Amino acid sequence: MLAYTAGPEPVETGTVTNDRFPDRKVHAGGWAAKRYSNDVEETWEALRMGRVDTLILTDARAGDAELFIGPEPSHLAATAQELLDLGVQQPWSAPADEALTRAALGTGAEVRFVTGGVEQSPDEGVGALLRYAV
């Protein structure tokens, strides 16, 4: 099978048979990189690194989830201690969807609200399209 990359030359690829990574393809350099996040943890980590192009929130997300934030939009973590370890002096607790939206807008990402509970919607009601593959 041939798959086209960003360059003009096609690269030979093969389909992954591993059930854990059904969306990835293998090529000569190893795993093809992923351009999305598909749950809360992957998404807040990508937001903290400034990798999110579009934050996707669905109506199927848990409304009681919380994250910790600091004074900068990219100060985002699952625990207060993670932010303290990064040098944030005063972490605050915030509802996850508010913290994610704040981080997205503060890092120049778009925010989209979509219908949840369908096959294409992100796990846990939260996901993102990334600026570049990781």
Domains of the chain: 1-32 (no CATH), 33-130 (3.30.1330.30)
Neighbours of 7 (CB within 10 A): 7
Residue 76, H or E segment: strand 76-77
pLDDT at 83: 96
Phi, psi values for residue 80, rounded to 5°: -65, -35
Closest CA to 132 of 40, 26, 50, 16: 50
Q: Which residues contact 30 (CB under 8 A, 6 or more apart)?
A: none
pTM, two decimal places: 0.72
pLDDT at 122: 85
Over its length of 134 residues, how does the chain's per-residue pLDDT go in tens digits? Answer: 334 344 444 444 444 444 444 554 444 444 456 788 888 899 999 999 999 999 999 887 777 889 999 999 999 999 999 999 999 999 999 999 999 999 999 999 999 998 877 777 887 889 999 998 76
* DSSP-assigned beta bridge partners for residue 93: 68
pLDDT at 4: 37
